[in-house]
Protein backbone atom coordinates (compact mmCIF):
# COMPACT_ATOMS: atom_id res chain seq x y z
CA UNK A 1 0.00 0.00 0.00
CA UNK A 2 1.59 3.31 -0.94
CA UNK A 3 1.63 6.28 1.45
CA UNK A 4 -1.04 8.30 -0.25
CA UNK A 5 -3.53 5.38 -0.15
CA UNK A 6 -2.67 4.81 3.54
CA UNK A 7 -3.12 8.51 4.23
CA UNK A 8 -6.48 8.31 2.44
CA UNK A 9 -7.62 5.33 4.58
CA UNK A 10 -6.38 7.00 7.78
CA UNK A 11 -8.26 10.15 6.90
CA UNK A 12 -11.35 8.09 6.09
CA UNK A 13 -11.11 6.25 9.43
CA UNK A 14 -10.63 9.46 11.41
CA UNK A 15 -13.56 11.06 9.61
CA UNK A 16 -15.73 7.97 10.13
CA UNK A 17 -14.83 7.76 13.84
CA UNK A 18 -15.50 11.46 14.25
CA UNK A 19 -18.84 10.96 12.51
CA UNK A 20 -19.72 7.95 14.68
CA UNK A 21 -18.70 9.89 17.79
CA UNK A 22 -20.79 12.86 16.73
CA UNK A 23 -23.77 10.64 15.92
CA UNK A 24 -23.47 8.89 19.30
CA UNK A 25 -23.31 12.24 21.07
CA UNK A 26 -26.25 13.47 19.09
CA UNK A 27 -28.18 10.30 19.78
CA UNK A 28 -27.44 10.42 23.48
CA UNK A 29 -28.48 14.03 23.68
CA UNK A 30 -31.53 13.16 21.70
CA UNK A 31 -32.66 10.34 23.95
CA UNK A 32 -31.82 11.69 27.41
CA UNK A 33 -34.70 13.98 28.20
CA UNK A 34 -35.39 16.24 31.14
CA UNK A 35 -39.17 16.15 30.66
CA UNK A 36 -41.21 14.10 28.21
CA UNK A 37 -44.89 14.83 27.74
CA UNK A 38 -47.09 12.15 26.23
CA UNK A 39 -50.10 13.42 24.32
CA UNK A 40 -50.36 16.60 22.27
CA UNK A 41 -54.07 17.24 22.91
CA UNK A 42 -55.17 20.23 24.98
CA UNK A 43 -53.75 18.97 28.29
CA UNK A 44 -50.32 17.81 27.13
CA UNK A 45 -49.86 20.88 24.94
CA UNK A 46 -50.86 23.31 27.70
CA UNK A 47 -48.49 21.60 30.15
CA UNK A 48 -45.64 21.61 27.62
CA UNK A 49 -46.15 25.33 27.05
CA UNK A 50 -46.08 26.22 30.75
CA UNK A 51 -42.89 24.18 31.22
CA UNK A 52 -41.29 25.77 28.13
CA UNK A 53 -42.08 29.20 29.55
CA UNK A 54 -39.99 28.25 32.58
CA UNK A 55 -36.99 27.47 30.42
CA UNK A 56 -37.43 23.68 30.41
CA UNK A 57 -36.68 22.05 27.05
CA UNK A 58 -39.57 19.63 26.68
CA UNK A 59 -40.13 16.71 24.34
CA UNK A 60 -43.79 16.34 23.38
CA UNK A 61 -44.81 13.01 21.82
CA UNK A 62 -48.01 12.78 19.81
CA UNK A 63 -49.19 9.73 17.91
CA UNK A 64 -51.21 11.74 15.40
CA UNK A 65 -49.92 13.97 12.66
CA UNK A 66 -49.56 17.73 13.22
CA UNK A 67 -53.16 18.11 12.10
CA UNK A 68 -55.22 16.85 14.98
CA UNK A 69 -57.99 14.57 13.73
CA UNK A 70 -58.82 12.17 16.53
CA UNK A 71 -59.07 12.60 20.28
CA UNK A 72 -61.15 14.28 22.93
CA UNK A 73 -59.87 17.70 21.80
CA UNK A 74 -60.92 17.21 18.17
CA UNK A 75 -63.03 20.01 16.69
CA UNK A 76 -63.22 23.77 16.48
CA UNK A 77 -65.71 24.65 19.22
CA UNK A 78 -66.26 23.86 22.90
CA UNK A 79 -68.39 25.88 25.28
CA UNK A 80 -66.31 28.26 27.40
CA UNK A 81 -68.08 29.88 30.32
CA UNK A 82 -67.50 31.66 33.58
CA UNK A 83 -70.82 30.71 35.08
CA UNK A 84 -71.21 27.36 36.77
CA UNK A 85 -74.15 26.66 38.98
CA UNK A 86 -72.90 25.81 42.43
CA UNK A 87 -69.32 24.81 41.86
CA UNK A 88 -66.83 27.67 41.72
CA UNK A 89 -63.86 25.55 40.66
CA UNK A 90 -65.11 25.35 37.05
CA UNK A 91 -65.58 29.07 36.97
CA UNK A 92 -62.03 29.63 38.24
CA UNK A 93 -60.60 27.14 35.72
CA UNK A 94 -62.16 29.06 32.84
CA UNK A 95 -61.35 32.56 34.13
CA UNK A 96 -57.71 31.71 34.84
CA UNK A 97 -57.42 30.02 31.44
CA UNK A 98 -58.47 33.27 29.75
CA UNK A 99 -55.66 35.07 31.59
CA UNK A 100 -53.14 32.36 30.66
CA UNK A 101 -54.28 32.38 27.02
CA UNK A 102 -53.65 36.13 26.84
CA UNK A 103 -50.10 35.47 28.10
CA UNK A 104 -49.66 32.88 25.34
CA UNK A 105 -50.91 35.31 22.69
CA UNK A 106 -48.66 38.12 23.94
CA UNK A 107 -45.68 35.80 23.98
CA UNK A 108 -46.30 34.62 20.40
CA UNK A 109 -46.57 38.20 19.19
CA UNK A 110 -43.49 39.31 21.14
CA UNK A 111 -41.39 36.50 19.68
CA UNK A 112 -42.48 37.03 16.09
CA UNK A 113 -43.85 40.30 14.78
CA UNK A 114 -45.51 38.40 11.93
CA UNK A 115 -47.36 36.03 14.27
CA UNK A 116 -50.50 38.22 14.46
CA UNK A 117 -51.95 35.91 17.12
CA UNK A 118 -55.10 37.14 18.80
CA UNK A 119 -57.50 36.06 21.52
CA UNK A 120 -60.19 35.97 18.82
CA UNK A 121 -58.31 33.08 17.13
CA UNK A 122 -59.20 31.06 20.20
CA UNK A 123 -62.33 32.49 21.78
CA UNK A 124 -65.61 33.76 20.42
CA UNK A 125 -67.41 36.08 22.81
CA UNK A 126 -71.12 35.31 22.53
CA UNK A 127 -73.88 35.12 25.10
CA UNK A 128 -74.04 31.65 26.65
CA UNK A 129 -77.61 30.50 27.22
CA UNK A 130 -78.61 28.13 30.01
CA UNK A 131 -82.09 26.67 30.26
CA UNK A 132 -82.87 24.85 33.51
CA UNK A 133 -85.48 23.91 36.06
CA UNK A 134 -86.71 26.56 38.51
CA UNK A 135 -85.61 24.26 41.34
CA UNK A 136 -82.03 25.47 40.75
CA UNK A 137 -82.90 29.16 41.12
CA UNK A 138 -81.52 29.92 44.62
CA UNK A 139 -78.32 28.02 44.06
CA UNK A 140 -77.86 29.57 40.65
CA UNK A 141 -78.37 33.13 41.85
CA UNK A 142 -75.91 32.69 44.72
CA UNK A 143 -73.22 31.30 42.42
CA UNK A 144 -73.78 33.98 39.75
CA UNK A 145 -73.06 36.67 42.30
CA UNK A 146 -70.09 34.82 43.82
CA UNK A 147 -68.61 34.07 40.42
CA UNK A 148 -68.99 37.66 39.14
CA UNK A 149 -70.95 36.77 36.05
CA UNK A 150 -72.54 39.46 33.91
CA UNK A 151 -75.96 37.87 33.45
CA UNK A 152 -79.64 38.20 32.63
CA UNK A 153 -82.29 35.88 34.03
CA UNK A 154 -85.95 35.28 33.13
CA UNK A 155 -87.82 33.02 35.52
CA UNK A 156 -91.33 32.70 34.11
CA UNK A 157 -92.96 32.40 30.66
CA UNK A 158 -94.31 35.98 30.71
CA UNK A 159 -90.96 37.55 31.55
CA UNK A 160 -89.12 35.36 29.03
CA UNK A 161 -91.51 36.28 26.22
CA UNK A 162 -91.59 40.02 26.81
CA UNK A 163 -87.93 40.50 27.58
CA UNK A 164 -86.23 37.85 25.44
CA UNK A 165 -88.89 36.77 22.96
CA UNK A 166 -88.59 33.10 23.95
CA UNK A 167 -91.35 30.64 24.85
CA UNK A 168 -90.41 29.20 28.20
CA UNK A 169 -92.36 26.27 29.64
CA UNK A 170 -93.66 26.60 33.21
CA UNK A 171 -91.14 25.90 36.00
CA UNK A 172 -88.23 26.60 33.70
CA UNK A 173 -85.77 29.51 33.78
CA UNK A 174 -83.44 30.94 31.18
CA UNK A 175 -80.12 32.55 32.04
CA UNK A 176 -77.82 34.44 29.70
CA UNK A 177 -74.13 35.01 30.41
CA UNK A 178 -72.28 37.96 28.85
CA UNK A 179 -68.72 37.79 30.20
CA UNK A 180 -65.88 38.58 27.83
CA UNK A 181 -64.43 35.40 26.25
CA UNK A 182 -67.42 33.36 27.36
CA UNK A 183 -68.93 31.71 24.30
CA UNK A 184 -66.75 29.11 22.63
CA UNK A 185 -63.11 28.10 22.74
CA UNK A 186 -61.46 26.56 19.68
CA UNK A 187 -59.32 23.54 20.68
CA UNK A 188 -57.80 23.14 17.21
CA UNK A 189 -56.49 26.73 17.19
CA UNK A 190 -55.36 26.58 20.80
CA UNK A 191 -53.34 23.41 20.13
CA UNK A 192 -51.83 24.97 16.99
CA UNK A 193 -50.73 28.12 18.78
CA UNK A 194 -49.44 26.20 21.80
CA UNK A 195 -47.29 24.01 19.55
CA UNK A 196 -45.95 27.08 17.77
CA UNK A 197 -45.06 28.71 21.10
CA UNK A 198 -43.44 25.50 22.46
CA UNK A 199 -41.22 25.31 19.36
CA UNK A 200 -40.39 29.03 19.63
CA UNK A 201 -38.98 28.32 23.08
CA UNK A 202 -36.85 25.39 21.94
CA UNK A 203 -39.22 22.53 22.79
CA UNK A 204 -39.44 19.55 20.44
CA UNK A 205 -42.66 18.02 19.17
CA UNK A 206 -42.54 14.58 17.59
CA UNK A 207 -45.72 13.79 15.66
CA UNK A 208 -46.67 10.31 14.47
CA UNK A 209 -44.82 8.98 17.48
CA UNK A 210 -46.77 6.52 19.51
CA UNK A 211 -45.71 5.56 23.01
CA UNK A 212 -45.93 1.80 23.46
CA UNK A 213 -44.96 1.54 27.11
CA UNK A 214 -43.50 3.46 30.02
CA UNK A 215 -41.44 1.82 32.74
CA UNK A 216 -39.39 2.99 35.69
CA UNK A 217 -35.66 2.56 35.35
CA UNK A 218 -34.12 2.28 38.85
CA UNK A 219 -30.56 2.53 37.45
CA UNK A 220 -31.06 6.03 36.13
CA UNK A 221 -33.89 6.90 38.54
CA UNK A 222 -35.90 7.93 35.54
CA UNK A 223 -38.30 6.47 33.03
CA UNK A 224 -37.89 4.47 29.85
CA UNK A 225 -40.40 5.26 27.14
CA UNK A 226 -40.74 2.84 24.26
CA UNK A 227 -41.90 4.61 21.11
CA UNK A 228 -42.83 3.72 17.57
CA UNK A 229 -42.39 6.32 14.86
CA UNK A 230 -44.95 5.80 12.10
CA UNK A 231 -43.22 7.95 9.45
CA UNK A 232 -39.81 6.32 9.85
CA UNK A 233 -41.15 2.87 10.76
CA UNK A 234 -38.70 2.75 13.69
CA UNK A 235 -38.90 1.75 17.33
CA UNK A 236 -36.73 3.40 19.96
CA UNK A 237 -36.31 3.97 23.66
CA UNK A 238 -36.33 7.39 25.25
CA UNK A 239 -34.89 7.87 28.72
CA UNK A 240 -36.52 10.72 30.58
CA UNK A 241 -36.01 12.04 34.08
CA UNK A 242 -39.60 13.23 34.31
CA UNK A 243 -42.81 12.27 32.52
CA UNK A 244 -46.17 13.93 32.07
CA UNK A 245 -48.85 11.52 30.86
CA UNK A 246 -51.71 13.38 29.14
CA UNK A 247 -52.90 10.76 26.69
CA UNK A 248 -56.63 11.47 27.15
CA UNK A 249 -58.63 8.23 27.04
CA UNK A 250 -55.38 6.24 26.59
CA UNK A 251 -53.96 7.44 29.91
CA UNK A 252 -54.82 4.31 31.93
CA UNK A 253 -53.44 2.07 29.20
CA UNK A 254 -50.13 3.93 29.24
CA UNK A 255 -49.76 4.12 33.01
CA UNK A 256 -50.43 0.42 33.55
CA UNK A 257 -46.81 -0.37 34.59
CA UNK A 258 -46.41 2.74 36.70
CA UNK A 259 -49.82 3.49 38.20
CA UNK A 260 -52.18 0.60 37.35
CA UNK A 261 -54.95 1.97 39.56
CA UNK A 262 -55.91 4.59 36.94
CA UNK A 263 -57.60 1.75 35.10
CA UNK A 264 -60.31 1.70 37.76
CA UNK A 265 -60.31 5.45 38.42
CA UNK A 266 -60.77 6.63 34.83
CA UNK A 267 -63.46 5.18 32.66
CA UNK A 268 -63.55 6.20 28.96
CA UNK A 269 -67.08 6.38 27.55
CA UNK A 270 -68.29 6.97 24.01
CA UNK A 271 -70.22 10.16 23.33
CA UNK A 272 -71.61 11.25 19.98
CA UNK A 273 -71.82 14.53 18.15
CA UNK A 274 -74.28 15.43 15.40
CA UNK A 275 -73.72 18.37 13.08
CA UNK A 276 -76.95 19.81 11.74
CA UNK A 277 -77.87 22.53 9.33
CA UNK A 278 -81.13 24.20 8.53
CA UNK A 279 -81.82 23.17 4.95
CA UNK A 280 -80.36 25.96 2.75
CA UNK A 281 -83.65 26.76 1.01
CA UNK A 282 -85.26 27.20 4.45
CA UNK A 283 -82.39 29.05 6.11
CA UNK A 284 -82.15 31.68 3.41
CA UNK A 285 -85.91 32.35 3.70
CA UNK A 286 -85.67 33.12 7.43
CA UNK A 287 -86.03 36.76 8.47
CA UNK A 288 -82.86 38.68 9.41
CA UNK A 289 -84.23 38.83 12.95
CA UNK A 290 -84.55 35.03 13.17
CA UNK A 291 -81.12 34.49 11.71
CA UNK A 292 -79.64 36.92 14.22
CA UNK A 293 -81.49 35.18 17.03
CA UNK A 294 -79.93 31.83 16.11
CA UNK A 295 -76.45 33.34 16.38
CA UNK A 296 -77.36 35.04 19.65
CA UNK A 297 -78.78 31.92 21.32
CA UNK A 298 -75.90 29.53 20.71
CA UNK A 299 -74.06 28.13 22.58
CA UNK A 300 -76.65 26.65 24.90
CA UNK A 301 -76.77 24.19 27.76
CA UNK A 302 -80.32 22.98 28.06
CA UNK A 303 -81.50 20.91 31.00
CA UNK A 304 -85.10 22.13 31.00
CA UNK A 305 -86.54 18.64 30.99
CA UNK A 306 -84.73 17.83 34.18
CA UNK A 307 -83.84 14.38 32.87
CA UNK A 308 -80.45 13.06 31.84
CA UNK A 309 -81.69 11.98 28.42
CA UNK A 310 -83.28 15.37 27.78
CA UNK A 311 -80.18 17.43 28.57
CA UNK A 312 -78.01 18.67 25.75
CA UNK A 313 -75.27 21.10 24.85
CA UNK A 314 -75.20 22.73 21.45
CA UNK A 315 -73.16 25.37 19.67
CA UNK A 316 -72.28 26.76 16.26
CA UNK A 317 -69.24 24.78 15.11
CA UNK A 318 -68.65 26.93 12.05
CA UNK A 319 -70.53 28.84 9.38
CA UNK A 320 -70.59 27.71 5.75
CA UNK A 321 -69.77 29.95 2.79
CA UNK A 322 -73.37 31.01 2.36
CA UNK A 323 -73.59 32.13 6.01
CA UNK A 324 -75.61 29.09 7.14
CA UNK A 325 -74.40 27.88 10.57
CA UNK A 326 -73.41 24.29 11.26
CA UNK A 327 -74.90 23.46 14.65
CA UNK A 328 -73.23 20.81 16.77
CA UNK A 329 -75.30 18.98 19.39
CA UNK A 330 -74.43 16.31 21.92
CA UNK A 331 -75.43 15.22 25.37
CA UNK A 332 -73.26 15.05 28.46
CA UNK A 333 -75.28 12.02 29.56
CA UNK A 334 -75.54 10.43 26.11
CA UNK A 335 -72.67 8.10 26.85
CA UNK A 336 -72.12 4.42 26.32
CA UNK A 337 -69.47 1.76 26.94
CA UNK A 338 -66.57 1.30 24.57
CA UNK A 339 -65.70 -2.09 23.14
CA UNK A 340 -62.53 -1.06 21.32
CA UNK A 341 -60.97 2.32 22.07
CA UNK A 342 -59.00 2.35 18.81
CA UNK A 343 -62.13 1.79 16.73
CA UNK A 344 -64.69 3.85 18.63
CA UNK A 345 -63.76 7.08 16.80
CA UNK A 346 -65.04 5.55 13.54
CA UNK A 347 -68.34 4.31 14.96
CA UNK A 348 -71.33 5.79 13.15
CA UNK A 349 -74.24 7.27 15.03
CA UNK A 350 -77.34 5.14 15.43
CA UNK A 351 -80.68 6.22 13.96
CA UNK A 352 -81.91 6.89 17.52
CA UNK A 353 -78.93 9.16 18.23
CA UNK A 354 -79.50 11.16 15.06
CA UNK A 355 -83.20 11.46 15.78
CA UNK A 356 -82.44 12.59 19.40
CA UNK A 357 -80.18 15.31 17.98
CA UNK A 358 -82.73 16.54 15.43
CA UNK A 359 -85.63 16.46 17.88
CA UNK A 360 -83.78 18.41 20.58
CA UNK A 361 -82.60 21.03 18.09
CA UNK A 362 -86.12 21.43 16.75
CA UNK A 363 -87.50 21.74 20.31
CA UNK A 364 -84.95 24.45 21.02
CA UNK A 365 -86.05 26.40 17.94
CA UNK A 366 -89.60 26.13 19.21
CA UNK A 367 -88.49 27.59 22.55
CA UNK A 368 -86.71 30.40 20.68
CA UNK A 369 -89.93 31.11 18.82
CA UNK A 370 -88.33 30.46 15.43
CA UNK A 371 -90.63 28.73 12.90
CA UNK A 372 -88.57 25.59 12.30
CA UNK A 373 -89.27 21.92 12.95
CA UNK A 374 -87.54 18.56 12.44
CA UNK A 375 -88.35 18.53 8.72
CA UNK A 376 -86.25 21.70 8.22
CA UNK A 377 -83.08 20.16 9.63
CA UNK A 378 -80.52 17.90 8.01
CA UNK A 379 -77.54 15.98 9.30
CA UNK A 380 -74.34 17.20 7.61
CA UNK A 381 -71.71 15.44 9.70
CA UNK A 382 -71.35 13.17 12.72
CA UNK A 383 -68.69 11.45 14.75
CA UNK A 384 -68.11 9.47 17.89
CA UNK A 385 -65.81 10.86 20.53
CA UNK A 386 -64.70 9.94 24.03
CA UNK A 387 -65.20 11.34 27.51
CA UNK A 388 -62.72 10.10 30.10
CA UNK A 389 -64.81 9.93 33.22
CA UNK A 390 -63.93 9.67 36.87
CA UNK A 391 -66.50 8.64 39.48
CA UNK A 392 -67.14 12.22 40.57
CA UNK A 393 -66.60 13.58 37.04
CA UNK A 394 -63.83 15.77 38.46
CA UNK A 395 -60.56 15.21 36.59
CA UNK A 396 -57.08 14.43 37.91
CA UNK A 397 -54.00 16.61 37.57
CA UNK A 398 -51.71 14.96 40.04
CA UNK A 399 -48.36 13.44 40.86
CA UNK A 400 -48.55 9.71 41.51
CA UNK A 401 -47.70 8.29 44.94
CA UNK A 402 -44.21 6.87 45.49
CA UNK A 403 -43.56 3.71 47.54
CA UNK A 404 -43.97 5.65 50.80
CA UNK A 405 -47.22 7.26 49.66
CA UNK A 406 -45.61 10.69 49.15
CA UNK A 407 -46.14 12.59 45.87
CA UNK A 408 -43.67 11.61 43.16
CA UNK A 409 -43.35 14.88 41.26
CA UNK A 410 -41.38 13.24 38.46
CA UNK A 411 -44.53 11.60 37.11
CA UNK A 412 -47.62 13.73 36.58
CA UNK A 413 -50.93 12.48 35.21
CA UNK A 414 -53.64 14.62 33.62
CA UNK A 415 -56.70 12.48 33.03
CA UNK A 416 -60.44 12.00 33.41
CA UNK A 417 -61.16 15.30 31.65
CA UNK A 418 -64.72 14.36 30.59
CA UNK A 419 -66.69 17.33 29.24
CA UNK A 420 -65.00 20.03 31.28
CA UNK A 421 -61.45 20.06 29.96
CA UNK A 422 -61.37 22.57 27.15
CA UNK A 423 -62.36 25.76 28.92
CA UNK A 424 -59.90 25.06 31.74
CA UNK A 425 -57.08 23.51 29.68
CA UNK A 426 -54.58 26.33 30.21
CA UNK A 427 -55.09 26.13 33.99
CA UNK A 428 -54.83 22.33 34.15
CA UNK A 429 -51.55 22.64 32.26
CA UNK A 430 -50.36 25.34 34.67
CA UNK A 431 -51.14 23.16 37.69
CA UNK A 432 -49.35 20.18 36.11
CA UNK A 433 -46.27 22.35 35.43
CA UNK A 434 -46.37 23.61 39.02
CA UNK A 435 -46.45 20.03 40.34
CA UNK A 436 -43.51 19.04 38.19
CA UNK A 437 -41.39 22.04 39.17
CA UNK A 438 -42.62 21.99 42.79
CA UNK A 439 -43.92 25.54 42.47
CA UNK A 440 -46.73 26.93 44.59
CA UNK A 441 -49.29 29.70 44.27
CA UNK A 442 -51.09 31.52 47.05
CA UNK A 443 -54.61 32.17 45.72
CA UNK A 444 -57.37 30.40 47.70
CA UNK A 445 -59.28 29.33 44.57
CA UNK A 446 -56.12 28.09 42.88
CA UNK A 447 -55.41 25.93 45.91
CA UNK A 448 -58.99 24.71 46.16
CA UNK A 449 -58.84 23.57 42.53
CA UNK A 450 -55.40 21.99 42.98
CA UNK A 451 -56.74 20.02 45.95
CA UNK A 452 -59.95 18.97 44.19
CA UNK A 453 -58.09 17.51 41.21
CA UNK A 454 -54.78 16.68 42.83
CA UNK A 455 -52.83 14.39 45.06
CA UNK A 456 -55.05 14.59 48.15
CA UNK A 457 -58.02 13.50 46.08
CA UNK A 458 -56.04 10.68 44.43
CA UNK A 459 -54.82 9.52 47.85
CA UNK A 460 -58.40 9.51 49.12
CA UNK A 461 -59.61 7.55 46.11
CA UNK A 462 -56.80 5.05 46.64
CA UNK A 463 -57.42 4.88 50.37
CA UNK A 464 -53.88 5.95 51.27
CA UNK A 465 -52.88 8.57 53.80
CA UNK A 466 -51.54 11.63 52.00
CA UNK A 467 -48.38 12.97 53.68
CA UNK A 468 -48.58 16.25 51.75
CA UNK A 469 -49.81 17.56 48.45
Q: Applying CB under 6 A, which residues contact ligand FAD?
A: 38-44, 61-64, 71-73, 78-79, 187, 210-211, 246-250, 254, 271, 273, 313, 330, 385-387, 417, 419-423
CB of 1 to ligand FAD, least distance (A): 53
Give the Cβ contact number of residue 12 at 10 Å: 10
In the complex with ligand FAD, the residue whose CB is nearer, 223 or 387, is 387
CB of 30 to ligand FAD, least distance (A): 17
In the complex with ligand FAD, the residue whose CB is nearer, 207 or 283, is 207
3-class SS at 386? strand
Rounded CA-CA distance 427/417 in Å is 13
Contacts of 234 (CB under 8 A, 6+ apart): 228
Residues facing 185 on adjacent strands: 78, 123
3-class SS at 416? coil
Give the Cβ contact number of residue 56 at 10 Å: 18
3-class SS at 411? strand
CA distances from 370 to 170, 310, 318 (A): 19, 20, 20
In the complex with ligand FAD, the residue whose CB is nearer, 209 or 283, is 209
DSSP 47: H
In the complex with ligand FAD, the residue whose CB is nearer, 367 or 420, is 420
In the complex with ligand FAD, the residue whose CB is nearer, 151 or 207, is 207
Angle, helices 187-200 vs 421-436, to 10°: value is 30
Find the DSSP H helices in 66-186.
88-111, 119-122, 137-146, 157-159
CB of 249 to ligand FAD, least distance (A): 6
In the complex with ligand FAD, the residue whose CB is nearer, 181 or 387, is 387
3-class SS at 153? strand
Rounded CA-CA distance 20/209 in Å is 25
Helix (H) or strand (E) run with residue 387 in it: strand 377-389
In the complex with ligand FAD, the residue whose CB is nearer, 210 or 382, is 210
In the complex with ligand FAD, the residue whose CB is nearer, 330 or 454, is 330
DSSP 107: H
Contacts of 439 (CB under 8 A, 6+ apart): 433
Rounded CA-CA distance 418/392 in Å is 10
CB of 380 to ligand FAD, least distance (A): 17
In the complex with ligand FAD, the residue whose CB is nearer, 159 or 206, is 206
DSSP assignments along 210-236, one per residue: EEEEEEEETTTTEEEEEEEETTTTEEE
Amino acid sequence: MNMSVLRFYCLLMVTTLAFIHLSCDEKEQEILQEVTIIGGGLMGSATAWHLSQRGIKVLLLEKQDSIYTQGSSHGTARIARSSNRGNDIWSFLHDRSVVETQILIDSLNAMDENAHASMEDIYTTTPVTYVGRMAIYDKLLASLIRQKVDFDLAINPQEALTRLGVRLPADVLIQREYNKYSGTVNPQQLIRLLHQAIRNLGGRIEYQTQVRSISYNPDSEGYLIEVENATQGTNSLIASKKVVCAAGPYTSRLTKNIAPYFDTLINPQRVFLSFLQIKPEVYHQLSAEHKEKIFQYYPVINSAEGTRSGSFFSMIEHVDQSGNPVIKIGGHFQRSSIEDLDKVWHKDLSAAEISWSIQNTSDYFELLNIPLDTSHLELVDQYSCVYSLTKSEVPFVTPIPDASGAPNRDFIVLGGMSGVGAKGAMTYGLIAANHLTNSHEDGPMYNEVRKAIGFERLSQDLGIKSPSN
